[in-house]
């Protein structure tokens, strides 16, 4: 039976990417060797890494603007501390919009003073704070573009007189933005880019080298830049699959093309959540995420019936995170509109049968 995979991450990837990945595990570039048994310094893999980095910069429209793309290990969680290790001399400002922002903020506190400029914790992170003040004497400002767990997304980024650092783990490559406003962007691959095991870092070189502390080699962006993501053995398979996914996106027409589809998917689900009397949305309407739609059943609705219906329809991965409860439909780039339509049909059927 066809699956409709709404997993929050690791998550659905394009079928053609999955097929090509499996082929490369058996026989990479017709070498009669597996992708996973060759040297990362072989000509063929160095080309993969170079291509992945180039594609990332191309999609973000950041070529020849002083940025470098890196594929590192450790997940976005390692970036929480690396960002601070490399940039925080005295004081940094953080916007707290959810679990991931809170964790980033916590790690930064080990390295200097951290100002929480605003937080939506008062309402279990169901909105994006606006109109907050950012101190002017900071080393950088940090925010999370999309809050995977709570289903909110920043639409308008603040103007800051300091480096702008953004965790884009769950919405990178999903919508057009002026990425040149950002100085450090990071994203675990396992949403819109590839499998778990590698993390994209895009950094404007000029912001580096300004802290006085000694940075361990593996945590030093400059060292990874100088060795072109090959300071040590990279996560070969995850980088390869990311390259394939970035290539798939390019063939599809890039971010502007996928954004149209993502808008359609988000419209489709939110329209039904609002229309259907058995469901209510979790996030404030104006801050709703186009990647993760969070919603709950209204009181008294028959949860067992709904759960039975979506499971029977081949839907998986829509249970909400324990911090929110209810449901979360994650609609990353590779999720077809058809899957959202199937979910909406199930929601309508649930209404009819209730």
Ligand X SMILES: Cc1ncc(COP(=O)(O)O)c(C=O)c1O
> What residues line the site for ligand X (CB under 6 A)?
9, 75-77, 100, 144, 148, 167, 169-170, 188, 232-233
Residue 167 binds which one of a copy of itself, Mg ion, ligand X, none, with CB within 5 to 8 A depending on kind? ligand X
Contacts of 116 (CB under 8 A, 6+ apart): 93, 94, 95, 96, 105
Q: Is 50 a catalytic residue?
A: no
Active-site entry in 68, 139, 167, 290: 167
Residue 197 binds which one of Mg ion, ligand X, a copy of itself, none, with CB within 5 to 8 A depending on kind? a copy of itself
Separation between Cα atoms, residue 118 and residue 108, nearest integer Å: 16
Kindly tell me which of 107 and 167 has the beta carbon lying closer to ligand X.
Answer: 167
Q: Are the CB atoms for 245 and 107 separated by under 8 Å?
A: no
Half-sphere exposure in the Cβ direction for 337 (13 Å, CA): 11
Q: Which among 352, 171, 346, 339 is positioned nearest to 272, based on CA atoms?
A: 346
The residue ranges that bind Mg ion (CB under 5 A) are 98-100, 147, 149, 276, 279
Q: Is 287 a catalytic residue?
A: no
**First-to-final CA distance of the chain:** 26
Kindly tell me which of 86 and 153 has the beta carbon lying closer to ligand X.
Answer: 153
Kindly tell me which of 70 and 344 has the beta carbon lying closer to ligand X.
Answer: 70
The reply to whether 171 sits in an annotated binding site is no
Q: Strand 140-144 to strand 91-96: parallel, antiparallel, or no bridges (unpaired)?
A: parallel
State in angstroms the smallest separation of the CB of 43 from Mg ion. 23
Cis peptide before 325 (omega within 30 of 0): no
Q: Are the CB atoms for 73 and 198 separated by under 8 Å?
A: yes
Give me the torsion for CA of 217, 220, 221, 226, rounded to 10°.
-30
Separation between Cα atoms, residue 242 and residue 189, nearest integer Å: 7
Residue 106 binds which one of Mg ion, a copy of itself, ligand X, none, with CB within 5 to 8 A depending on kind? a copy of itself
Kindly tell me which of 149 and 258 has the beta carbon lying closer to Mg ion.
Answer: 149
Kindly tell me which of 88 and 128 has the beta carbon lying closer to a copy of itself.
Answer: 88
State in angstroms the smallest separation of the CB of 29 from a copy of itself. 13
Contacts 24+ apart (CB under 8 A), 226-231: 228/49, 228/50, 228/53, 229/49, 229/53, 229/70, 229/71, 229/72, 230/40, 230/41, 230/46, 230/49
Residue 335 binds which one of a copy of itself, Mg ion, ligand X, none, with CB within 5 to 8 A depending on kind? none
The residue ranges that bind a copy of itself (CB under 8 A) are 1-3, 5, 7-13, 18-19, 21-23, 25-26, 31-34, 36-40, 73-78, 80-81, 103, 106-107, 110, 188, 190, 194-198, 214, 216-219, 231-238, 241, 316-317
Q: Is 247 a catalytic residue?
A: no
Residue 195 binds which one of Mg ion, ligand X, a copy of itself, none, with CB within 5 to 8 A depending on kind? a copy of itself
Active-site entry in 191, 204, 265, 290: 191
State in angstroms the smallest separation of the CB of 73 from a copy of itself. 4
Sheet containing 327-330: give its strands across.
279-281, 292-297, 327-330
Q: Which residues are catalytic?
A: 100, 167, 191
């Amino acid at each position: 039976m066809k699956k409709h995979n709404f997993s929050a991450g690791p998550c659905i990837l394009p079928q053609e990417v999955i097929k090509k990945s499996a082929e490369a595990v058996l026989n990479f570039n017709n070498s009669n060797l597996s992708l996973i048994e060759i040297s990362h310094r072989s000509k063929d893999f160095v080309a993969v890494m170079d291509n992945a980095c180039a594609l990332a910069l191309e999609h973000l429209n950041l070529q020849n603007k002083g940025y470098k793309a890196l594929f590192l290990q450790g997940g976005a969680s390692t970036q929480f501390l690396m960002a601070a290790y490399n940039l925080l001399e005295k004081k940094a400002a953080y916007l707290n919009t959810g679990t991931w922002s809170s964790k980033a903020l916590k790690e930064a506190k080990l390295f200097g003073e951290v100002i929480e400029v605003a937080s939506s914790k008062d309402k279990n992170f169901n909105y994006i704070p606006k109109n907050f003040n950012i101190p002017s004497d900071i080393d950088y400002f940090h925010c999370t573009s999309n809050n995977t767990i709570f289903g909110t997304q920043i639409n308008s980024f603040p103007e800051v007189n300091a480096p702008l650092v953004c965790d884009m783990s769950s919405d990178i490559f999903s919508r057009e933005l002026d990425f040149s406003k950002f100085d450090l962007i990071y994203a675990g691959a396992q949403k819109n880019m590839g499998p778990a095991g590698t993390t994209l870092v895009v950094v404007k070189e000029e912001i580096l080298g300004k802290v006085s502390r000694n940075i361990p080699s593996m945590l030093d962006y400059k060292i990874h830049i100088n060795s072109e993501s090959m300071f040590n053995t990279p996560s070969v398979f995850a980088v390869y699959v990311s390259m394939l996914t970035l290539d798939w996106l390019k063939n599809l027409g890039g971010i502007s093309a996928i954004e149209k589809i993502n808008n359609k998917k988000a419209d489709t689900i939110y329209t039904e959540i609002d229309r259907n009397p058995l469901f209510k949305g979790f996030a404030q309407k104006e801050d709703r995420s186009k990647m993760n739609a969070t919603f709950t059943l209204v009181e008294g609705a028959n949860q067992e019936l709904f759960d039975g219906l979506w499971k029977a329809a081949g839907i998986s991965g829509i249970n909400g995170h324990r911090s929110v409860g209810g449901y979360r439909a994650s609609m990353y780039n590779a999720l077809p509109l058809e899957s959202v339509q199937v979910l909406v049909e199930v929601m309508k059927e649930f209404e009819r049968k209730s």
